[in-house]
Structure 1
Amino acid sequence: MTQYLLSVVQPVGERPAPEAMARIGADVAAFHEELRAAGAWVFAGGLHGPESATVVRVGGNGGQEVLLTDGPWIEAKEHLGGVCIVEAADLDAALEWGRKAARATTLPVEVRPFLG
């Protein structure tokens, strides 16, 4: 089995209304339960917005200096909103999980295999 990263692509801006978020939350919980029942679950979690990020970057002094910068390192209209790692037999199976994740979250989902 290969592990795949399902990345939830979230637009910058206001979140859906509380009623919509409750429905999405229930759909995501059902999706995660389906993953567990199928033996495909590895890990999943949502992320705070990009404004909560801190970028850690190697600086000068031969890489001895480490610089910290508050906020995202690029400005974008979309950001990583959450991740799910699944085990799947092949890309087609992983893409099916990606389809289900997109339906549950109502957001685009990028599917990528891990190296090795």
Structure 2
Amino acid sequence: MKYLILIYGNEEVWGSLPERELAALIGEVDAFNEALRVSGELVDSQGLEIRARTVRMVDDAPVVTDGPYLEAKEYVGSYFVVDVGSEQRALDIARSYPGLRIGSGIGGGLEVWPLMNQDGASH
């Protein structure tokens, strides 16, 4: 079963980390990703550029605008996709993500989304 795990962050919280603490956290995240890669569970992991685009219909035409669809303090900063045996394993992985502890929970959170097969069924 594949799961998309979205990692949310708060730019103010992340930007307030001392450089040494941020570097240590990045090292922990790299080790986290490597452990999932070695286990064969990591399908993909990417950070997202800050510059998002939104496409929506305006007067029967698709219009592209700058920025995310909603205004929020938290934003999607990266994601990873895992292929695991159960939803419980996906949740265990999300709970162990190193960035979760930043700012006592105000640094963001993770969303765990089951992905559909190409035929539309859940994995």
TM-score, normalised to structure 2, is 0.78
Aligned-pair CA distance for 1:13? 2.0
Query: For residue 105 of structure 1, what is the aligned residue in structure 2?
Result: 99
CA distance in 1, matches of 2:68, 2:109: 20
Query: For residue 92 of structure 1, what is the aligned residue in structure 2?
Result: 88
Aligned-pair CA distance for 1:79? 1.1
* Identical residues among aligned pairs (%): 30
Query: For residue 32 of structure 2, what is the aligned residue in structure 1?
Result: 31
CA distance in 1, matches of 2:85, 2:56: 36
TM-score, normalised to structure 1, is 0.82
Q: State the aligned residue count.
A: 108
CA distance in 2, matches of 1:110, 1:53: 19
Runs (5+) with no aligned partner, structure 2: 101-107, 117-121
Query: For residue 9 of structure 2, what is the aligned residue in structure 1?
Result: 10
Query: For residue 58 of structure 2, what is the aligned residue in structure 1?
Result: 59
Runs (5+) with no aligned partner, structure 1: none
1:59-100 CA distance string (max 9 Å, x none):
334xxx321111222111211111010011001111111112
